[in-house]
Structure 1
């Protein structure tokens, strides 16, 4: 009888192991089919959800939800700090990691994070059940061992899919890079129609409609450094997703060039671009057409675009925006204008911010290559003695002059803007008259001095190395 009991026990164990193996084979087969589905991430999440009877989510490296298999609309999400800590920990251990109610497995390749597989386990069913003998939970065929193995298999399948998608994206990125380089070239007039058709066709093959409203954006990260460990294309793609904005992009040096359709919020019901994308800000809007401050800026409506790139880069970049075009052959012009705007923005004391070509005002003339070279001689003629005095004495007469002219010659307003006493301002202005020989009461003289102060920002060679003339 005792032998019969032992035989029965062994038979039960054998059947449990066989059942577990059969279940695992079915699970692997389902994973294989999921990889060939239209949305593999969703398929993998659903297969794992059915296998574990737990809620499952798939996130991209930035925390964006790619797929979810559950019925809970309030599925918990990882914070940025939790994700960063998790990825760092995952480099040192194998298998899923616990973050409160979540069991998270990292899909990565050669140290590069591709995505996260997140299992919601609030009851901690995947924790060791035998505290005194946790090795029992690791035995083949045990529910916990099978569950952790399934998570590992699902993570492996997800890694293969995301890596394949990343490689495809990089190939497409190279094609897009080549297309952008072509699009930014002027079309030959004797072959204009055919060349436009070729460019539109190539863009269409990359799922981008090159016809219709576009602007070119020129973007440079603060201090010219892109975030470590992230591909520039991935960062731009993330920002574009936030804005729901189709684009083609390339990288020239440390400057990202983006050929962009309007963000979804700036299209009406018929798909027509609306302000601010299609039109310049009205004259009365805040910041429109301002050239009398150290920080030329576009209307507040553009802030949403700058905020999206700031969020992705984790610091505010400099962005120049070319004017609105509705024909592919006009994109080279929008590119030149975007670079002019970026030049002006980058040469301000605080380089962070966005400026459109429409808002450049006087800088539209000065920010061309020819204008910048001519500006140097003009600045030297009108401000040379003051610049020399400032350099020798560590003074700030050019800055004082600029603020005074910005305030229309109003002593009280200029003194307040400079945070100095009115008498101090009078003394500085007297020194400016003596050193320069200019009569600040003369209208033409004031105009030329004001233009010279503005021109100093973009002059080549640099007139004021390392800073613009107007510092708040």
Structure 2
């Protein structure tokens, strides 16, 4: 009497499988098929599919599982009916029957294993999506998040920075760009990171913010990088900073390849007290609406003059104007606002008001000037002009 359990155990040891039980009744059914000349039935194959799925759930590799079945088959061969016979036809017939049975079994095992892996991948993707949402949205239990993050190869006890990539079209989890990002970061020497999507954008959680330079950037994409912060809450904070930086970059019409939140802190400071900055804009810049041609050209002049460090000649070159024209515009700014751009203190006030206007989209209804064009999608910040802090003589001519 053949001990099929011993053969299964020997096959499992050779294949490196932990359990020969994943063979089920494969060997007895193989012997029965060789004796009767019948192929394995649908019920048999369904059992082997289920066994393969169970093996996949237990972490048995597919090659190991195949090796287990094939090792069991060749070990069982000498014990099958008619194998000891001298008749060539009998041996040929039993060989065909056994090979058919093994072939059918391998197909069933492959189907069962693949189905289990697809299910596991879907479940892992769902768990990963839930983890990402909890990590970026904040509010989840930090201790629980530490354990969940470890499963996805992320140690959130350290410091991380978050980058957000927004393309011309929404990104999906299957987008090839995600693989490109992963490959680029690995090539840059980064070993711990998370690449995912959220709200149609690619989100990258980094342990080394400097590695952002290695990020491939599609031609029509914009990348924003939050600051580095420690812990689970730090990831959430950096993600929110990246989103804010992305929004500000749009408003400011920034052309930087990568927009960094730490370079836009002045705008965050200005916007922290929205009522105060609204008052500043209304008091300092609103009178520029009275100029012929609107506020746009004078706002451009303030922008160029402050950027040039108060240098009239450099301002003229930036604006493609004569020095005399720039001087006249500076005079009009002083007349309308009461603030003298040539004074360091007043120039600071004008620049702060201008930065606030950029961040808030003021003025939205000015038809000319580069600044107005940048902000036409945002409506007026103030309901009515606030009285000038330092009134000057008003004129409607340039």
What displacement does 1:468 show? 5.6
Counterpart Cα distance in 1 of 2:198 and 2:290: 36
1:467 aligns with 374
Measured on the aligned residues, the alpha-carbon RMSD in Å equals 3.9
Contact 2:146 2:157 in 1 (8 A): yes
Q: 1:372 to 1:181 in 2, by over 3 A?
A: farther
Structure number with greater Rg is 2
Residue 238 of structure 1 pairs with residue 180 of structure 2: yes
1:176 aligns with 128
What are the ranges of 5 or more consecutive residues in structure 2 without an aligned counterpart? 1-60, 67-112, 365-370, 377-398
Q: 1:375 to 1:466 in 2, by over 3 A?
A: farther
What displacement does 1:235 show? 2.4
Contact 1:180 1:249 in 2 (8 A): no
Aligned length: 262
Contact 2:170 2:201 in 1 (8 A): no
What are the ranges of 5 or more consecutive residues in structure 1 without an aligned counterpart? 1-34, 41-160, 189-194, 263-275, 278-300
Counterpart Cα distance in 1 of 2:320 and 2:125: 51
2:339 aligns with 438
Residue 386 of structure 1 pairs with residue 314 of structure 2: no
Contact 2:226 2:240 in 1 (8 A): yes
What displacement does 1:404 show? 0.4
Q: What is the 5 A alignment of 1:126-137?
A: none
What displacement does 1:323 show? 1.6
- Equivalent position to 1:365, from 254, 257, 269: 269
What displacement does 1:337 show? 2.3
Local SS of the residue matching 1:408: coil
Local SS of the residue matching 2:230: coil
Q: TM-score, normalised by structure 2?
A: 0.55
Counterpart Cα distance in 1 of 2:130 and 2:305: 49
Q: TM-score, normalised by structure 1?
A: 0.47
CA shift digits 1:121-180 (9 cap, x unpaired): xxxxxxxxxxxxxxxxxxxxxxxxxxxxxxxxxxxxxxxx99998886665443223212
What displacement does 1:232 show? 6.4
What displacement does 1:436 show? 2.5
Contact 2:154 2:193 in 1 (8 A): yes
Larger RCO: Structure 1 or Structure 2 (Cα < 8 Å, ≥ 6 residues apart)? Answer: 2
What displacement does 1:458 show? 1.4
Local SS of the residue matching 2:150: helix
Counterpart Cα distance in 1 of 2:115 and 2:184: 23
Counterpart Cα distance in 1 of 2:337 and 2:325: 18
- Equivalent position to 1:203, from 149, 163, 166: 149
Counterpart Cα distance in 1 of 2:352 and 2:116: 55
1:63 aligns with none
Counterpart Cα distance in 1 of 2:314 and 2:165: 35
What displacement does 1:449 show? 0.5
1:409 aligns with 310
Counterpart Cα distance in 2 of 1:235 and 1:378: 44
Which structure has more helix as a fraction of its residues? 2
CA shift digits 1:401-449 (9 cap, x unpaired): 1110111111111112222221221222223223323222333321111
- Equivalent position to 2:223, from 319, 332, 338: 319
